[in-house]
């Protein structure tokens, strides 16, 4: 299907035009993420009328506004709790949540771990740019050590969350991480995540030249995007080097960011299990009441 | 599969027509009878029994109960579920209500129908978890940031816990606004006889869903199917309207208008006036011995019970005492208070706090009428004799 529709036609079909222009800066990775999402929906042949896009607060959380479908732009960090309700009341809807690293793992960390633990059948696309971009470059729970931010002017001393590792440890059904400059892997992962039953996470590393790059000697857009290329490594490669590489190779690799598909399992989603429980309870009652309602 | 209420099934689940149950359970009954399809909650004393009742009964009716990770998430989840087209509810008490303030404001801004049962206790902070109080009367009205209105009902009996929960849903659906049932720990844990309405004894109001052509739909303006109503038609998720719901200031089409003063002014004024236009229609008070009264209580919730006893005792002593009980506390019955204050010399407001509703009473009372609070704190109710003393002193 993807060959049948070009980029212009796709944008025509999926963009909510009244919301344009977007708020995204030059060199931001969020627009690419939106494109990949459109492509994944197109390739899956999903009906936008049956999709709900939810989000919290931040640059990435503006994305549902640009998609011509039902959108729920909620409060900071709470999108997964809202999405849980959306899905609970109508499990037939395809629910996709867009979130940022601060939104999902800072203020929304509790909702993130519980949505994953419950195995709520939704797809979460987290655009990780290591920084609070919309508010002007404050340090995030994902900022690497040493990051210079408006609220870490002398360098960040805190350890960073590895969002994908966190989701994996919580038993998420699908977990993948890619930098946005590879188009085909994110598209495939978004498709797989939507099709996987249960809680699915696609973490896209999305550069923020304005709020992160400028303060961290990566203000030049090309230089920033190159940084991601130089500092990410396929998980299989990483493991190979850490197991069998020379000390030199290991030292060069140890701080790189692993990318790839980390988890892909089929688990019964929470609402599927819930519907089964409801059906059993109702059948019991009907039996008790002699077959009548 | 969208939840659809099968009222006959719900009624069968609830059982006998007359029951002896606690207020919290009556709230759960009321929610089920009103057609709640999703309940999200978090344990908190003295409101936990509402969630427990829902956990037991709601799945049997085909609805979904989830114990969320906290009250912030509970409020978020019921708003999300409301947008998928069902009636939704949560229950909490003081500290949880404080946590809900963020998304309570979101529900107001996005015109999301939902019901919050707040079985009040005291504070600040954790306070006295197992004791009743009336600590959130003003938080309901003013607790979230920004300009807003509130709709809140105050039950004084277990029967009212049930009836007013149904009424809360009706108001919520009608005005597309979160409605708060302001019970208190006393009435929530009180056990009394209730009569459970049958299916044909209830009037249920449903939100008006959008039906106009999709390209003509205006999501945040006056109703397009109910001319003159300031409550817009509801575009349920999945119905093809592709609406955008945001807590940002938005224009009539739902698009962010964060730097546009006229859009904000128009939106906020409509959100408030869609309720205040109906203030007098909504006013719901009970009058006791008011015909010739000179000194009166203005009461609500559990404290109306000892207050009514005190009025009877005072009458037996020849004191011209009376009582006005507010069943709906927000929007505040301004005219009822003003008219009462012109006829009496003194209004006493018994409250299980240092005084909250005494402030709006004073604000709207005629200036010649003295308005005082009869406070009772510490998790116990006023004794009738304590309140009688206020009447005796005031009548001298």
Q: A209-263: per-residue pLDDT in tens?
A: 999 999 999 989 999 989 999 999 999 999 999 999 999 999 999 999 999 999 9
Chain B contact probe: residue of A14, A70, A119 with most B CBs at under 10 A? A70
In a domain, B364, yes or no: yes
Q: Work out the average pLDDT over B220-246.
A: 96
Nearest to A93 among B40, B84, B242 (CB): B84
> How many domains is chain B partitioned into structurally?
2
Query: What residues of A are in contact with residue B237 (Cβ under 8 Å)?
Result: 52, 70, 72, 86, 90, 93
Set of chain A residues whose Cβ sits within 8 Å of the Cβ of B74: 81
Q: How far apart are CA B342 and CA B363, in angstroms?
A: 14
User: Domain ends where: B167, B201, B235?
Assistant: B201
Nearest to B68 among A50, A81, A293 (CB): A81
For A173, the token pair is 């059904």
pLDDT at B2: 62
**Residue with token string 């969350």:** A161
- Total count of residues recorded for chain B: 396
Residue of A nearest to B244 (CA): A71
Contact yes or no for B77 and A111 at CB 8 A: no
- Chain A residues within 8 A of B77 when measuring between CB atoms: 81-82, 84-85, 88
Structural domain of B379: 285-395
Per-residue pLDDT of B30-81, as tens digits, reads 999 999 999 999 999 999 999 999 999 999 999 999 999 999 999 999 999 9
Which chain B residues are Cβ-neighbours of A52 within 8 angstroms?
Answer: 83-84, 237-238
- Residue B194, Cβ neighbours under 10 Å: how many? 24
Residues of A in contact with B57 (CB under 8 A): none
Domain with residues A2-266, CATH architecture: 3-Layer(aba) Sandwich (3.40)
Strand partners, B36: B87
The minimal CB distance from B81 to the residues A86, A118, A278 is found for: A86
| Count of beta carbons in the 10 Å neighbourhood of residue B363 | 12
The angle formed by the CA atoms of residues B165, B166 and B171, to the nearest 5 degrees, is: 95
What pLDDT does A117 receive? Answer: 96
Size of interface A-B (CB pairs under 8 A): 170
Q: Out of B37, B86, B244, name the one closest to residue A65 (CB).
A: B244
A21 upstream amide cis, omega within 30 of 0: yes
Q: From the CA of A75, how many Å to the nearest CA of chain B?
A: 7
CB A139, CB A99: distance < 8 Å: no
- Give the model confidence (pLDDT) of A98-133 as tens digits: 999 999 999 999 999 999 999 999 999 999 999 999
Q: If pLDDT is split at 50, 70 and 90, which confidence band does A266 have?
A: confident
Q: Are residues B169 and B318 in the same domain?
A: no
For residues B187 and B297, state if they share a domain: no
In angstroms, the separation between the Cα of residue B34 and the nearest Cα of chain A is 16
- Write down which residue in B144, B167, B201 finishes a domain: B201
Q: Are residues B328 and B189 in the same domain?
A: no
pLDDT at site A2: 46
Two tokens, residue B296: 């009166």
| B168 inside domain | yes
Identify the H or E element spanning B79: helix B71-83
Residue from B238, B243, B252, B253 whose CB has the most chain A CBs within 10 Å, to mutate: B238
Domain containing B79 — which CATH number? 3.40.50.970
pLDDT of residue B323: 98
Write down the pLDDT at residue B5.
Answer: 78
Contact B221, B252 (CB under 8 A): yes
What average pLDDT does the structure give for chain A?
A: 95
Domain end (from B179, B201, B223) = B201
pLDDT in tens, B196-211: 999 899 999 999 999 9
- Chain A residues whose beta carbon lies within 8 Å of the beta carbon of residue B62: 278, 282
Residue B325 sits in a domain of what CATH number?
A: 3.40.50.920
State whether A88 and B245 contact (CB < 8 Å). no
CB spacing of B9 vs A293 below 8 angstroms: yes
- The pLDDT value given to residue A290: 85
Residue B276 lies in a domain: no
Q: Are A267 and A198 in contact (CB under 8 A)?
A: yes
SS3 at position B169: helix
Residues forming a β-bridge with B245: A72
B396's CB contacts (< 8 A; 6+ apart) are: none
Shared domain for B193 and B294, answered yes or no, is no
Q: A64 vs B85: CB contact, 8 Å cut-off?
A: no
> Is residue B163's pLDDT more than 60?
yes
User: What's the pLDDT score for residue A291?
Assistant: 60
Residues of chain B contacting residue A274, judged by C-beta atoms under 8 Å apart: 59, 64
Q: Which residue among A18, A81, A85 places its CB closest to the CB of B255? A: A18
Q: Residue A113: closest CA among chain B residues belongs to which residue? A: B69
- Does pLDDT of A1 surpass 80? no
What does the domain layout of chain A look like in residue ranges?
2-266
Closest partner residue to A89 (CB to CB) among B59, B86, B242 is: B86
User: Crossing angle of helices B23-34/B158-175, nearest 10°?
Assistant: 40
Q: Do B66 and A84 touch (CB under 8 A)?
A: yes
Does the pLDDT value for residue B276 go beyond 90?
yes
Which residues on chain A are in Cβ contact (under 8 Å) with B78?
85
Which distant-in-sequence residues (6+ apart) come within 8 Å of B358 by Cβ? Answer: B349, B351, B371, B372, B373
What pLDDT is attached to residue A7? Answer: 85
Distance CA A6, CA B60 (A): 49
When pLDDT is averaged across residues B252-267 and rounded to a whole number, the result is 95
**What is the pLDDT of chain B when averaged over all its residues?**
97
pLDDT-derived band at A3, boundaries 50, 70, 90: low
Whether this prediction's pTM lies above 0.95 is answered by: yes
């Amino acid at each position: 299907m993807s060959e049948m529709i070009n980029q212009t036609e796709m944008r025509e079909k999926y963009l909510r035009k009244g919301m344009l222009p977007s708020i995204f800066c030059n060199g931001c990775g969020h627009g690419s993420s939106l494109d990949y999402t459109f492509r994944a929906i197109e390739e899956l042949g999903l009906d936008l009328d049956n999709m709900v896009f939810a989000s919290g607060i931040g640059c990435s959380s503006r994305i549902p506004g640009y998609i011509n479908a039902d959108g729920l732009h909620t409060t900071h960090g709470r999108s997964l709790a809202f999405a849980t309700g959306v899905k609970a009341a109508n499990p037939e809807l395809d629910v996709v949540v867009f979130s940022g690293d601060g939104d999902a793992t800072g203020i929304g960390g509790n909702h993130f771990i519980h949505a994953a633990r419950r195995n709520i059948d939704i797809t979460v696309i987290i655009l990780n740019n290591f920084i609070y971009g919309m508010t002007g470059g404050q340090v995030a729970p994902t900022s690497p050590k040493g990051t210079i931010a408006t609220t870490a002017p002398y360098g960040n001393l805190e350890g960073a969350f590895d969002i994908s590792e966190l989701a994996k440890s919580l038993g998420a059904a699908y977990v993948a991480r890619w930098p946005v400059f590879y188009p085909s892997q994110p598209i495939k992962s978004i498709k797989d995540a939507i099709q996987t039953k249960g809680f699915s996470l696609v973490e896209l590393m999305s550069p923020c030249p304005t709020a992160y790059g400028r303060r961290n000697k990566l203000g030049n857009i090309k230089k920033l995007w190159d940084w991601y290329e130089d500092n990410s490594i396929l998980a299989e490669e990483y493991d190979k080097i850490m197991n069998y590489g020379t000390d030199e190779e290991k030292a060069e690799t140890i701080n790189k960011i692993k990318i790839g598909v980390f988890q892909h399992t089929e688990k019964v989603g929470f609402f599927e299990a819930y519907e089964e429980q409801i059906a059993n309870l109702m059948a019991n009652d009907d039996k008790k009441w002699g077959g009548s309602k | 599969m969208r939840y659809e209420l099968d009222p006959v099934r719900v009624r069968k689940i609830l059982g006998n027509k007359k029951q002896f149950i606690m207020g919290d359970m009556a709230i759960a009954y009321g929610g089920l009878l009103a057609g709640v399809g999703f309940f999200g909650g978090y344990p908190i004393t003295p409101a936990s029994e509402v969630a427990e009742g829902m956990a037991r009964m709601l799945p049997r009716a085909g609805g979904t109960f989830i114990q969320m990770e906290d009250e912030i998430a509970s409020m978020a989840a019921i708003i999300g579920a409301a947008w998928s087209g069902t009636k939704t509810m949560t229950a909490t008490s003081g500290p949880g209500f404080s946590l809900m303030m963020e998304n309570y404001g979101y529900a107001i801004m996005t015109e999301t129908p939902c019901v919050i049962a707040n079985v009040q206790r005291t504070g600040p902070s954790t306070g006295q978890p197992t004791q009743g109080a009336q600590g959130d009367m003003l938080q309901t009205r003013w607790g979230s940031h920004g300009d807003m209105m509130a709709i809140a009902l105050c039950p004084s009996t277990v029967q009212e816990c049930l009836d007013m929960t149904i009424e809360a849903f009706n108001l919520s659906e009608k005005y597309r606004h979160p409605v708060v049932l302001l019970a208190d720990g006393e009435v929530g844990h009180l056990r009394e006889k209730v009569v459970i309405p049958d299916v044909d004894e209830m009037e249920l109001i449903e939100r008006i869903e959008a039906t106009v052509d999709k390209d003509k739909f205006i999501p945040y303006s006056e109703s397009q199917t109910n001319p003159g109503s300031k409550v817009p038609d509801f575009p349920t998720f999945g119905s093809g309207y592709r609406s955008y719901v945001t807590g940002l200031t938005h224009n009539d089409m739902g698009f962010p208008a964060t730097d546009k003063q006229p859009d904000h002014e128009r939106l906020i004024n409509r959100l408030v006036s869609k309720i205040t236009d109906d203030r007098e229609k909504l006013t719901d008070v009970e009058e006791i011995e008011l015909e010739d009264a000179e000194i009166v209580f203005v009461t609500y919730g559990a404290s109306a019970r000892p207050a009514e006893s005190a009025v009877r005792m005072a009458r037996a002593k020849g004191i011209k005492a009376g009582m006005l009980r507010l069943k709906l506390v927000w929007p505040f019955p301004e005219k009822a208070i003003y008219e009462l204050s012109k006829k009496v010399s003194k209004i006493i407001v018994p409250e299980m706090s240092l005084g909250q509703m005494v402030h709006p009473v004073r604000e709207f009372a005629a200036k010649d009428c003295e308005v005082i609070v009869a406070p009772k704190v510490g998790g116990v109710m006023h004794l009738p004799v304590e309140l009688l003393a206020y009447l005796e002193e005031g009548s001298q």
